[in-house]
Structure 1
Amino acid sequence: MITQDDVAEIKSGRVLDPFAVFGPRHRGQAGFLVAFDPAAETMEALTPKGSLPMQALGDGLFTGQLGTETSYRLRATKGPHLWDFDDPYRFGPVLGPLDLHLISEGTHRRLWQALGAHAITHEGCAGVHFAVWAPNARQVSVVGDFNGWDRRRAVMRRRGAGVWEIFLPGLQPGETYKYDIAPMHGGSALKADPLARATQLPPDTASRIATSQPYDWADDAWMESRHLRNNREAPITIYEAHLGSWRHRDGRSLTYREAGIELVDYAHDMGFTHIELMPLAEYPFGGSWGYQPTAMYAPTSRFGTPDDFRALIDAAHAKGMGVLMDWVPAHFPTDAHALAQFDGTALYEHGDPREGYHPDWNTLIYNVGRTEVKNFLTANAIFWLREFHLDGLRVDAVASMLYRDYSRKQGEWVPNHLGGRENFESITFLREMNALAYGEGPDGLMTVAEESTAWPGVTTPVHEGGLGFGFKWNMGWMNDTLRYIEHDPIHRRHHHDLMTFGLVYGFSENFVLPISHDEVVHGKGSMLQKMPGDHATKLSNLRAYYGFMWGHPGKKLLFMGCEFAQDHEWNHDFGLDWGALNHPGHAGMQRLVRDLNTLYRAEPALHARDADSNGFAWVDREARAESVFSWLRYGHAEHRPVAVLTNFTPVERQWRIGLPRPGRWREALNTDAGLYGGGNRGNFGSVHANGPPHAAQPHSAVVTLPPLSTLFLIPEDDR
Structure 2
Amino acid sequence: MKKHEDRLEMDQYLFHQGTHYNAYEFLGAHVLDDNRMRFITWAPNAHHVQLMCNYNHFSGDGFDFERLNDQGLWVLYTDKVHVGDVYKYKIHHADGYNVKSDPYAQYSEVRPNNASIVYKSDFKFTDDDWMARRRNSNIYESPINIYEIHLGSWKRHFTDDQNPNGTYFYTYQQFIDTLIPYLQEMNYTHVEFLPLGEHPFDASWGYQMTGYFSATSRYGTPDELKQLINALHRAGIGVIMDVVLAHFNKDDHGLRRFDGTPTFEHPDEYIANKRAWGTLTFDFGRNEVQSFLVSSCLFWIKEFHIDGLRVDAVHSMIDLNFENYEEHEKIYNEHGDDRNIAGIEIIKKINTAVFKEDTSILMMAEDSSDIPLITHPIDNGGLGFNFKWDLGWMHDRLKYISKSFDERMHYHDKMTFTMMYKYNENYVLPLSHDEVVHYKKSILDKQQGDQWQQFAGVRVLYGNQMSEPGKQLLFMGQEIGMYHEWKDHEEVDWHLLEFPLHQQLKLYIKDLNALYRDNPEFYQLDYEQEGFQWMVVNDRDNGVFAYTRSSRDGFKVCVLNFKPDVHYDYSIPVPLGGEYKEIFNSDHAKYGGSGVINGTHQTIDQAMNNQDQHIKITVSPLAFIVFEFKN
What range describes the TM-score normalised by the shorter chain of this pair? Answer: over 0.9
Q: Report the CA distance shift for 1:384/1:230 in structure 2 as closer, same or farther (over 3 A).
A: farther
1:430 aligns with 2:430: no
Distance 2:109 2:486 in 1: 27
- Code of the residue aligned with 2:73 in structure 1: it is V
Please show how residues 90-239 of structure 1 align to structure 2 within 5 Å. Answer: 96-121=8-33, 125-160=34-69, 161-183=71-93, 185-213=94-122, 215-227=123-135, 231-239=139-147
Contact 2:516 2:522 in 1 (8 A): yes
Distance 1:410 1:259 in 2: 50
Please show how residues 282-431 of structure 1 align to structure 2 within 5 Å. Answer: 282-408=198-324, 409-431=326-348
- SS of aligned partner of 2:558: strand
Please show how residues 494-573 of structure 1 align to structure 2 within 5 Å. Answer: 494-573=410-489
TM normalised by structure 1 equals 0.84
- Code of the residue aligned with 2:85 in structure 1: it is E
- Code of the residue aligned with 1:431 in structure 2: it is K
Select which of 605, 612, 616 maps to 2:532.
616
TM normalised by structure 2 equals 0.96
Distance 1:192 1:614 in 2: 53
Distance 2:11 2:236 in 1: 38
- Code of the residue aligned with 2:65 in structure 1: it is M
* 1:265-298 per-position Cα deviation (integer Å, ceiling 9, x unaligned): 2112101100000000000000000000011100
Distance 2:114 2:602 in 1: 67
1:258 matched residue in structure 2: 174
Please show how residues 18-29 of structure 1 align to structure 2 within 5 Å. Answer: none
- SS of aligned partner of 1:557: strand
* CA shift for structure 1 position 591: 1.1
* CA shift for structure 1 position 93: 6.8
Distance 2:288 2:310 in 1: 23
Contact 1:178 1:206 in 2 (8 A): yes
Distance 1:322 1:104 in 2: 35
1:279 matched residue in structure 2: 195
Q: Report the CA distance shift for 1:94/1:264 in structure 2 as closer, same or farther (over 3 A).
A: farther
1:248 matched residue in structure 2: 156
Contact 1:228 1:234 in 2 (8 A): no
Select which of 682, 686, 699 maps to 2:613.
699
Contact 1:382 1:437 in 2 (8 A): yes
* CA shift for structure 1 position 643: 0.6
* CA shift for structure 1 position 120: 2.0
Select which of 502, 510, 513 maps to 1:597.
513
Distance 1:579 1:149 in 2: 47
* 1:600-648 per-position Cα deviation (integer Å, ceiling 9, x unaligned): 1111111011111111111111111111111111111xx2101111111
- Code of the residue aligned with 2:56 in structure 1: it is N
2:580 matched residue in structure 1: 665
Q: Report the CA distance shift for 1:703/1:713 in structure 2 as closer, same or farther (over 3 A).
A: same
* CA shift for structure 1 position 413: 4.0
* CA shift for structure 1 position 455: 1.1
* CA shift for structure 1 position 170: 3.9
* CA shift for structure 1 position 169: 0.8
Distance 2:318 2:359 in 1: 27
Distance 1:190 1:229 in 2: 47
Contact 1:544 1:709 in 2 (8 A): yes
**Identity over aligned residues, as a percent?**
37
Distance 2:36 2:121 in 1: 11
- Code of the residue aligned with 2:566 in structure 1: it is E
> Any gaps of 5 or more consecutive residues in structure 1?
1-91
- SS of aligned partner of 1:96: helix
Distance 2:622 2:287 in 1: 55
Contact 1:94 1:129 in 2 (8 A): no
- SS of aligned partner of 2:465: helix
Contact 1:199 1:301 in 2 (8 A): yes
* CA shift for structure 1 position 172: 1.7
* CA shift for structure 1 position 689: 2.0
- Code of the residue aligned with 1:614 in structure 2: it is E
1:686 aligns with 2:595: no
Contact 1:354 1:412 in 2 (8 A): no
- Code of the residue aligned with 1:178 in structure 2: it is K
How well do the aligned residues superpose, as a CA RMSD in angstroms?
A: 1.3
2:378 matched residue in structure 1: 462
Contact 2:546 2:572 in 1 (8 A): yes
* 1:144-177 per-position Cα deviation (integer Å, ceiling 9, x unaligned): 1122112221110101231101111142211110
1:28 matched residue in structure 2: none
- Code of the residue aligned with 1:420 in structure 2: it is D
* CA shift for structure 1 position 522: 0.8
Distance 1:558 1:264 in 2: 16
* CA shift for structure 1 position 474: 0.1
Q: Which moved more, 1:406-415 or 1:482-491?
A: 406-415
Distance 1:328 1:229 in 2: 27
- Code of the residue aligned with 2:316 in structure 1: it is S
Select which of 431, 434, 439 maps to 2:356.
439
Contact 1:229 1:236 in 2 (8 A): no
Select which of 673, 676, 680 maps to 2:591.
676
Distance 1:503 1:282 in 2: 39
* 1:182-207 per-position Cα deviation (integer Å, ceiling 9, x unaligned): 01x14111100000000000010100
2:165 matched residue in structure 1: none
Contact 1:640 1:714 in 2 (8 A): no
- Code of the residue aligned with 1:657 in structure 2: it is I
1:489 aligns with 2:397: no
Structure index of larger Rg: 1
1:267 aligns with 2:183: yes
1 or 2 for the larger relative contact order (CA 8 Å, sep ≥6)? 2
* CA shift for structure 1 position 228: 5.0
- Code of the residue aligned with 2:487 in structure 1: it is N
- SS of aligned partner of 1:545: helix
Distance 1:360 1:417 in 2: 26
Contact 2:460 2:624 in 1 (8 A): yes
Distance 1:587 1:323 in 2: 26
* 1:23-81 per-position Cα deviation (integer Å, ceiling 9, x unaligned): xxxxxxxxxxxxxxxxxxxxxxxxxxxxxxxxxxxxxxxxxxxxxxxxxxxxxxxxxxx
- Code of the residue aligned with 1:241 in structure 2: it is I
Contact 1:313 1:323 in 2 (8 A): yes
